[in-house]
Chain A
C-alpha cells in the first residue's frame, strides 16, 4: 500500500500541528526554544520499521511510549538517547540532585515529559479531528530499538503487517537535547484516519 502525494501532504500538515504543540509544551517546560524538523511520513513493512528507526537513532535509547486506541489505534513514542535524557532531567529537576546516572528521579521526569509531549501530539486526533481515542499509561523503557519495537507491535490491538511511521527530530536550544517523536499506526487505522481527515475537511468547507 502506498500513500498518494495528497495523502502524504495532508498527514504531514496534520502532524505538523501535533508536533508543533508538543514542541511548544516542551519549550514551556524547559524555558528554552525547541526547533522541529519537517516530519517524515512513510509506510513501511512492519519488519522494516525497526531497522529504519535504528538507522535514525543508533542503539541505546530512553523511550516513553504511549499506546492509544479507539477508531484509530497505535503508539506514540518519545525517543531520547541517554545523554539527552540526562540533560533534560537536569533541566527539569532544579538542580536538586544533579545526577550522572539515570536514577529514579530522572526516570520520573522523563516519563512525565513523555506524557506531556505525547498527549499534546495525539491531542490533534481528539480535539481537532474529533476522533475519540483513549490513551494507555505512558511507559518508560531503556532499551535498544529492536526490543522497543517488539513491545510496540506486540501490544497493539491491531495485527500490524505494515506501519505508517511519522517521525521528526527536535532540538532543545541549549543544544544538548536531541530527541525523536514517532507515531506508529496500523494500516486499518491509517485508512480510518484518512477517512476522518476527509470528513473533517468536508465539514469545514461547506
Chain B
C-alpha cells in the first residue's frame, strides 16, 4: 500500500485527477500502467512503450484483457479484482515468468520472453480506490545470473558430495546407484543405466538402473564389446563408440530418446559405462555433460581402487593360507618321528648308544617342530585366530615351569640361573600355556646370546600402584646396540652379531620375540627390551596387569606315575584309535600296545563305526580331521550308541575348540605332536579317574 500512495501523491494541493506525476512515470526503470475501476487502461509509461512497441495512444481506454492474456496462469483476473478490493499481489518471476509477453533482455538466456516481477496494487485517491496500478520489473538479467550461479553452486556441491561418498565407501558399485539417481534429478533426466565390464566375458552387464521396469531391464541387461582392446575413446569412430551406438538403439526402442553415455574408465582402461536418458525430447547443455563426465570419472576411480584393494587382500589371504597349509604339511611327518624318537630314547631294550642317538634325533626334530610351530603361531595371530584359554594363574608358577623346560640347555651352555621372584602379588588372568611360551622364548633368547660362563637372572617386582607386575630376564650376554633394539621384536629380523670378528647368524627364523610380544599384548601387557650396549648384556621386561588371587588355591593337575592297566581287563581298556595319517597311526598303535592297551585302529569315520559295532571299547582316541567326516561327529555317534568316552587329537595349526570337543563327548583334548608323557597322563586320567 505504501508504494502506491507514494507514487500517487503529487505536490501538495495538486489537481483532482490522481495520476502519477508524469516526470516520475517516465524516468523510473519500470513498466507502469494504471486502470480505472472497470479495468480500462488510463496510463501507459515510456518504458512500456519502449519494450512493447505500443504507444500510449494505442492502448489508453482499452480494456485490460487486450493487453494481458487473462487465460494465462488462471488467477490473473482474480488479482486485479483483489487489487480493486484493496490487496496488493506480487507475481514472482520464479513461478509466473511474466505477465505480458515482452522481448527478452538477456540474450544469453534461452527463455524467449522477459522475466518479470509484477506488483498489482490498488490505485488510491486519498482513501478511495479508484483503479489499479501495475508495476513491472525486468528481472531477466538478474534471474539469468542467479540461475547460473545456483546451478554452478549446486553442481559443485553435487560433485563434492559424490566424491566424498565415493572416497568413504567400501562398495562403490552400490554407492554409484545412489549418486547417479541424484544426478539424474539434478540434470532433469528421467533414467539411467550403469554397466560394469565383466572381465572374462568382455561384456558390459547392467549393474544398477532407475526408470526401467523389470522386463525392460532384462531387455537391456547386457551388450558385448567388440573383441579389440578396451581402449576408451568414446568419441565417434572408436571401437567403444560403435558398440555403444549399437546398444543405444535398444534403449531407443524403449522410448529413451535423449541419451548421454559416459565411459567409466581409469586412464584408458574401461571398467564400465553409464547411460543417462530421458523419455522426453530434452537436451542438456555441454557444461552439464562435462559435469556428468567428471562424476563418471570419480566413480571409475573408486571402482578401480576397490578392485585393487580386494585383489591385494585376496593375495595376502592366499599367502597366509598357503603358509598355514605348508606349515601343517611340514609338521605332520614330524609327529611320528618325535613319538618314536622320544619313546626309543627311553626304551631300556636299546643300547645306550642307540638311546643317545634317538635322543639327538628327538631333540633336533623337536627343534624343527618348534620353528614350524612359531610360523604357524604367527599366521594364527595375524588372522586373529589365536584362541586363549584364560584363567587366573600364578605367574611365578608359570615362570618356574618355563625355567624347568630350559634346564638342560642352561646346563649344556654352562650358564647359571638366579631366580629372584619377590613381587608380593603375582596372579594374572592368562592362558598358562601361552604365557609359558612367552617366558620360554625370552629365556631361550637369553641363553642363545650369552656366552658360556655367563649368568641369567629372572626377577619379578610390583609397581607402586600395585596393579601391575613386571618380570625381568637379565643376561650378561652380548647385548644390543640401538638399531638392534629397534628391530628386536620384528618378525623375521635376525640378529647378525660379530663373534670373534666374524659375522655370525644365530639361526632360527627370528619369530620367537615377535610372537611373544603379540601374546603379551593379547594379555593386555607390555614387553620391553633394554641394553646398555654391545657386550654389556640385555634385559627383557614383561609387565602384566594383576588380578585378585583366588581364595581357594587352584589345583594344578599333577600327574601320578603312569601305570599301565591290568593286562587281563582287555575289554576294560581296549582303545579305538582313529587316525588317517598312517605313520602317526602306526606309531601310536605301537606305543599303546607297548603300554599294555589293546588297540583296534581305523583310518576313517566309516571304518571306526564298523569296528565299534563289532567289538566293545573302553576309550576312543581320535583325530579330528578325518577324510570322511570329523572327529566330533564320530565321537557324538559313538557316545550316543555305546556310551563311549574319548580323547581328541587335533593337529597343530588347527583351531582348538575345547567347547566343541566337550560337547561332542570328548573328555580330553590333546594337540599333536603328542609327547609320550602327555599321552600317558591323559590315558591315566581317563581310565583311573572316578
B-binding residues in A (CB < 8 A): 6, 9-10, 13-14, 16-17, 20-21, 23-24, 27-36, 92-94, 96-97, 104-105, 108-109, 112-113, 116, 127-128, 173, 197, 201, 204-205
Contact = CB atoms under 8 A, between A and B. Distances in A.
Contact of B94 (A9, A20, A29): A29
A92 B117 CA distance: 11
A121 to B, nearest CB: 12
Nearest to B78: A108
Nearest to A104: B87
A16 B181 CA distance: 10
Contacts of B253: 204-205
A124 to B, nearest CB: 8
A97 B216 CA distance: 49
Contacts of B185: 20, 23-24, 27, 33-36
B279 A204 contact: no
A96 B90 contact: yes
A204 B215 CA distance: 11
Given A20-B185, A205-B215, A32 B150 contact: yes
Contact of B95 (A27, A29, A33, A127): A29
16 contacts: A17-B211, A17-B279, A20-B185, A21-B188, A30-B94, A31-B151, A36-B185, A94-B93, A94-B117, A104-B87, A105-B89, A105-B90, A113-B95, A128-B279, A201-B213, A204-B254
A185 B92 CA distance: 34
A24 B188 contact: yes
B248 interface: no
B280 interface: yes
B92 to A, nearest CB: 5
The 3 closest A-B CB pairs, nearest first, are: A31-B150, A96-B90, A10-B213
Nearest to A91: B94
Given A34-B185, A109-B92, A173-B154, 18 more contacts: A10-B215, A13-B210, A13-B212, A14-B213, A16-B211, A17-B190, A20-B211, A24-B185, A32-B150, A33-B182, A35-B185, A36-B185, A96-B90, A96-B117, A96-B119, A128-B255, A201-B216, A205-B219
Contact of B280 (A36, A93, A105, A127): A127
A152 to B, nearest CB: 22
A194 to B, nearest CB: 11
A35 B219 contact: no
A94 B197 CA distance: 49
A104 B117 CA distance: 17
B191 interface: yes
Contacts of B151: 31
B280 A13 contact: no
Given A35-B182, A96-B90, A97-B90, A13 B213 contact: yes
A96 B75 CA distance: 19
A96 B150 contact: no
Interface in B60-101: 73, 75, 82, 87, 89-90, 92-96
Contacts of A32: 150, 154
Nearest to B216: A201
Nearest to B210: A16
B126 interface: no
A189 B446 CA distance: 87
A27 B154 CA distance: 10
B212 A27 contact: no
A93 B154 contact: no
Contact of A28 (B82, B188, B191, B214): B188
Interface string B189-218: 111000000000000000000111111100
Nearest to A25: B188
B672 interface: no
B669 interface: no
Contact of B90 (A17, A94, A116): A94
Q: Which of B82, B94, B146, B219: most chain A Cβ within 10 A?
A: B94
A136 to B, nearest CB: 13
A51 B578 CA distance: 67
A42 B669 CA distance: 57
Contacts of A35: 182, 185
A31 B216 contact: no
Nearest to A198: B215
Contacts of A17: 190-191, 211, 279
Contacts of B54: none
Contacts of B254: 204-205
A197 B186 CA distance: 26
A33 B95 CA distance: 17
A94 B92 CA distance: 6
A30 to B, nearest CB: 7
A13 B211 contact: yes
A49 B253 CA distance: 38
Contacts of B216: 201, 204-205
B51 interface: no
Query: Which of A6, A30, A94 has the most B CB atoms < 10 Å from its CB?
Result: A94
A113 to B, nearest CB: 7
Contacts of B181: 36
Contacts of A201: 213, 215-216
Contacts of A27: 154, 185-186, 188
Interface in B100-147: 117, 119, 146-147
B157 interface: yes
A30 B90 CA distance: 17
B451 interface: no
B386 interface: no
B145 to A, nearest CB: 11
Contacts of B590: none
Contacts of B190: 17, 20-21
Given A10-B214, A13-B213, A96 B186 contact: no
Nearest to A22: B185
Contact of B255 (A21, A93, A204): A204
B158 interface: yes
A9 B151 CA distance: 32
B184 interface: yes
B576 to A, nearest CB: 55
Contacts of A20: 184-185, 189-190, 210-211
Contacts of B279: 17, 127-128
A173 B186 CA distance: 11
B214 A9 contact: yes
B493 to A, nearest CB: 54
Contacts of A205: 215-216, 219, 253-254
Contacts of B87: 104
Nearest to A18: B190
Residue from B75, B187, B214 whose CB has the most chain A CB atoms within 10 Å: B214
A105 B82 CA distance: 12
Given A27-B185, A33-B186, A204-B255, A197 B92 contact: no
A6 B215 CA distance: 9
Given A20-B190, A35-B185, A9 B157 contact: no
Interface string B143-177: 00011001100100110000000000000000000
A92 B212 contact: no
A93 B150 contact: no
Nearest to B250: A205
Contacts of A197: 213
Contacts of B213: 9-10, 13-14, 197, 201
A116 B73 CA distance: 11
